[in-house]
Chains A and B, each alone.
Chain A
């Protein structure tokens, strides 16, 4: 038990002293997770709107596929993205393997089903009268899309936070696509995995505390938004 307590004390010391390696992992995590959540929202929100707002043949099976992708294992995504980005892969020429945009590409795939599914559900749950009201007030299809998303804004933000929670805490994609390169692609989660393997609990605990704080902040925001959504 003593080493755990000692680990906590050292973790506080690492954080308060501005330990460069620790803060590098935090900075990399914030950078890559920001890229990933922006990508997931830019692609996923319109797709979620289309899935929730429109009716087309094959919609029900597509919903099943999207819902199944919610539990897509991160190592499988990592494997697929690695296969595409490796030098021999179809996207190898872009040189994205072991880079932050490469990790972000994988994390976007991870966050996308969450954003699509939750946005679609949010749009489906909106009042049936909304669409006809907007059309009757003269909105064109693009304006209907934007206003509908605005009406569902709290639920879409909830989707964003759920996706961010999954993205920031994943380890499989960051490890496989990023390569866990010190000062470069080492994220909080890959650093924790590495340092724990080395028996360096203090840095692992320090990064764990930061990760928990991020998760806490995200959850706190979700609670606030849930209250507003009702």
Chain B
């Protein structure tokens, strides 16, 4: 059980969550609360359930059992409004087969927002990619680190209420790692974004997190 003692209002509350893949339980959380504007670290071995928990928090998959409350309301994957407040950066992000600018601005486009090119330039700058060099580049002209930063920019442009990061710096060079760490924290600074970060980088998590949760075999063991 992981209760939140923060003074900020509760953003997430998970109750009796069980997730199963092919009949096998991969995640079991009795109770978890996450406060607004907090930074939560998530650690655990590969296959411990970190990505599953993040996908449930992102409302991309529904748990087999249990309830997820967001801002006090029981929410599910079919509710578009809640998915527009939360965004997940996976470990190996997918870029659409179009230009960098179109990738970054996609989330704004589906929301019908204006001034997308300027906003795309702002967030590219935030992740350390020179807008003039990158906006017109195609998705296949990027290195792994650049693609990861473009994917993060596509999330940051949304000014999300919650940013979920699934091992965002795995297999990246030092420069890309530094830029991603800085840009993620900037979201918290500028827009009070709640961050949930799954990572094996304990030193980083300990330096930024309000709380670190450990998953072992799909169960929260330490908070």
Q: List residues of chain A with CB under 8 Å of any chain B CB.
A: 127, 129-130, 132-140, 143, 147, 151
Contacts and interface: CB of A to CB of B under 8 A. Distances in A.
Contact of B90 (A129, A134, A143, A147): A129
A132 B80 contact: no
Interface string B126-147: 0000000000000000000000
B120 interface: no
Interface in B57-115: 58, 60, 80, 83-84, 86-88, 90, 92-94, 96-97, 106-107, 110-111
B110 A130 contact: no
Given A140-B110, A143-B110, A135 B93 contact: no
A132 B88 contact: yes
Interface string B182-218: 0000000000000000000000000000000000000
B83 A136 contact: yes
22 contacts: A127-B94, A129-B90, A129-B92, A132-B55, A132-B88, A133-B93, A133-B94, A133-B96, A134-B106, A135-B60, A135-B83, A136-B58, A136-B60, A137-B87, A137-B110, A137-B155, A138-B107, A138-B110, A140-B110, A143-B110, A151-B96, A151-B97
A136 B92 contact: no
Contacts of A147: 96, 106
B83 A138 contact: yes
B43 interface: no
Given A136-B83, A137-B154, A140-B80, A129 B110 contact: no
Nearest to A144: B110
B158 interface: yes
A138 B84 contact: yes
A151 B55 CA distance: 23
Nearest to B94: A129
Interface of B: 55, 58, 60, 80, 83-84, 86-88, 90, 92-94, 96-97, 106-107, 110-111, 154-155, 158
Given A129-B90, A138-B111, 13 more contacts: A132-B55, A133-B93, A133-B94, A134-B106, A137-B155, A137-B158, A138-B80, A138-B87, A138-B158, A139-B110, A140-B80, A140-B110, A151-B97
B195 to A, nearest CB: 15
A130 B90 CA distance: 11
Nearest to B80: A140
B106 A129 contact: no
Nearest to A151: B97
A130 B58 CA distance: 15
B80 A130 contact: no
A127, A130, A136, A151 — most chain B CB neighbours (10 Å): A136
Which 6 A-B pairs give the minimum distances between C-beta atoms? Answer: A129-B94, A137-B107, A138-B84, A133-B94, A136-B88, A139-B110
Contacts of A136: 58, 60, 83, 86-88, 155
A196 to B, nearest CB: 47
Given A137-B106, A137-B158, A139-B110, A130 B87 contact: no
A197 to B, nearest CB: 50
A132 B110 contact: no
Contacts of A140: 80, 110
Contacts of A132: 55, 60, 88, 90
Most buried by B among A130, A134, A137: A137
Contacts of A139: 106, 110
A203 to B, nearest CB: 46
A121 B64 CA distance: 29
Contacts of B106: 134, 137, 139, 147
Nearest to B88: A136
B94 A130 contact: yes
Contacts of B111: 138
A130 B84 CA distance: 17
Contacts of B88: 132, 136
A127 B93 CA distance: 11
Nearest to A136: B88
Q: Which of B87, B92, B94, B158 has the most CB of A within 10 A?
A: B94
Nearest to B111: A138
Contacts of B60: 132, 135-136
